[in-house]
Chains A and B, each alone.
Chain A
Amino acid sequence: MLELRGVCTYYGNIQALWDVDIRIDEGEIVTLVGANGAGKTTTLMSICGVTPVQRGEIFFNGQTIHTQKTDRIVRMGVSQVPEGRLIFPELTVMENLELGAYLRRDKQGIQEDLEHVFSLFPILATRSGQAGGTLSGGEQQMLAISRALMARPRLLLLDEPSLGLAPIIIHQIFNIIRKVNESGTTIFLVEQNASQALKVAHRGYVMENGHITMQDEGDKLLRNEAVRKAYLGSVD
């Protein structure tokens, strides 16, 4: 469904991604784990056309997308829940959700999806008239995921959805991620929280300093000695 081939991305003169190859098949949950500053967010921003790709190619359903503008890529079915959630703080929860469906015209479908996200996160329904900036961190993450789902994406990109949240909320968020995937949305999950991410993912990639250094099935990576040492903090 999504394929990155030899992608190189720069910030000015500094190369952030080095020949990154990633493949995501329809229906999968694929995760990208790595330390802070490894290039995970850059990878997502390159997919969405926010930071331009210097060399290499990105294909989505067989079409090249690395030369497209962001709004075209979103229109093709790629939605992102960015790092830091980026809720519109002065818009209401409802307006945030409506903007998630900005490119859609099917009123009926939008209404159905609104009910769907409210059933996933009932707290959002009770807060729908409130300004987005007044929500707690966990609620904002729920809103960010819901907003992305309102676009009815075929591929959902999630950037650090667990960052800064309480364990019980993290648990809830990961359950939702699994549920969204089971209902047919392909998921690319970027995480520092490697243990959680690898547990939920079918396959995983490990990124270090802008290079992909390992790739395997999720549970195999979870048992891999090097991964355990570097990212799971347990050497027993």
Chain B
Amino acid sequence: MPSPGFAMSTFFAEIDWRYLGELFFSGLTKGSIYALISLGYTMVYGIIELINFAHGEIYMIGAFTGLVMAGVLGSLGFPAVGILILGAVAAVVYCSAYGYTMEKIAYRPLRGAQRLSPLISAIGVSIFLQNYVLIAQSGEFLRYPNLIPDMPFLQPISYMLRPSSFLIIVTSAVVMVILTLFIKYTRLGKAMRATAQNRKMAMLLGIDADRIISATFVIGSALAAIGGILIASHTQQINFNIGFLAGIKAFTAAVLGGIGSIPGAMLGGLVLGCCESFASGYISCDYEDMFAFAILILILIFRPSGLLGKPKSMKV
């Protein structure tokens, strides 16, 4: 009879480590994007308890801004890296303006209305933005230029980590660290947390809640814009519809991590990306989306507060 140790060693010997690594990094890449988008969902929910269904569209608009910038700057003869950086800056600014305007037009007038009203309004904004881009651009998949520089230091592991994936993972990590520090230590960050925990009390301390809500939309939109431009450089094709699925996946990630929790959204995004990647790699890629939404349903049934969300406790 073979010892259990022997069985284990054959099990490990049979693992294709290269394949596993490939799936892991692909999951991490997707997961980073989900995390960037889901932060916008979770921050907005944390403050005004609204699922902003138009948030995925902001991400899509970010990708399109990058495309337009690439066209303009490319014809002016800018180098690829310059286009990438300027495109990202433009996308962040443009999408922030969209986020700000969206809140002002579609959600602020409904403040104090029943909860369903802003939700419907969000769906309306989502449909509007999709169709607006459909008309203004086109319904086709548009090719996105390759702007990512070669990264020779990735050569030894290039089979599992492409430069674009590397860029996505590193950029997202940096952005998330900055966001965390911002929320924790700055005056605005503290005011945002206070407003999320108790808006009335925040107002009584002189915090202008409307300004905080606007700031939340602006920050969330900026993060989505970064996600949009990164993913466009990675997949090298975009269309008006990419925000829909990405938005729902990111929403799933936010719920998975615990909606309202910022570290939860980051963790949820990464976990969801990896789950999807492994499911499609070891089972079938047809089941990728099904897995993501099965996770959503399971979480909603068994742990509605998510991985890092905690039931509220307060002594009286």
Contact = CB atoms under 8 A, between A and B. Distances in A.
Contacts of A91: 190, 193-194, 197
Contacts of A134: 315
Nearest to A69: B208
Interface string A151-186: 100000000000010000000000000000000000
A91 B197 CA distance: 9
Interface stretch (B22-30, B133-141, B199-207): B199-207
A47 B204 CA distance: 11
Contacts of A137: 315-316
A100 B201 CA distance: 10
A75 B206 contact: yes
Interface stretch (A3-11, A81-89, A116-124): A81-89
Nearest to B310: A90
Residue among A71, A75, A79, A147 with max Cβ neighbours from chain B (10 Å): A71
A135 B205 contact: no
A70 B193 contact: no
A136 B315 contact: yes
A89 B187 contact: no
Contacts of B116: none
Contacts of B313: 89, 133
Contacts of A79: 204-205
A99 interface: yes
Nearest to B198: A86
B200 to A, nearest CB: 6
Contact of A102 (B191, B197, B198, B314): B191
Nearest to B201: A86
Given A69-B208, A98-B190, A102-B191, A89 B203 contact: no
Contacts of B315: 133-137, 140
Contacts, number: 74
A160 to B, nearest CB: 12
B204 A88 contact: no
- Size class of the A contact interface (CB-based, 8 Å): 20 to 34
Interface in B276-316: 312-316
B216 to A, nearest CB: 17
Contacts of A164: 316
A100 B208 contact: no
A42 interface: no
Interface residues of B, number: 21
Contacts of B312: 89
Contacts of B314: 87, 89, 133
B211 to A, nearest CB: 9
A21 interface: no
A87 B193 CA distance: 12
Interface centre among B198, B204, B313 (most CB of A within 10 A): B204
A71 B203 contact: yes
A194 interface: no
Contact of B204 (A48, A75, A90): A48
A100 B202 CA distance: 9
Interface string A61-86: 00000000111001100011010101
A48 B198 CA distance: 16
Contacts of B200: 50, 82, 86
B169 to A, nearest CB: 29
Most central of A50, A87, A99 by chain B CB within 10 Å: A99
Interface in B203-230: 203-208
Nearest to A88: B197
Contacts of A125: none
B264 to A, nearest CB: 13
Contact of B206 (A50, A90, A95, A103): A103
B204 A70 contact: yes
A145 to B, nearest CB: 13
B208 to A, nearest CB: 5
Contacts of B204: 48, 50, 70, 74, 79-80, 82, 86
17 contacts: A71-B206, A74-B204, A74-B206, A75-B206, A79-B204, A86-B198, A88-B197, A88-B198, A90-B197, A91-B197, A99-B194, A99-B202, A102-B187, A133-B313, A135-B315, A137-B315, A151-B205
Given A88-B194, A99-B194, 17 more contacts: A70-B203, A70-B204, A70-B206, A88-B193, A88-B201, A89-B312, A91-B194, A98-B190, A99-B191, A99-B207, A102-B187, A102-B207, A103-B206, A133-B314, A136-B315, A151-B205, A151-B206
Lowest 4 CB-CB distances: which A-B pairs, in order? A74-B206, A86-B201, A103-B206, A70-B203
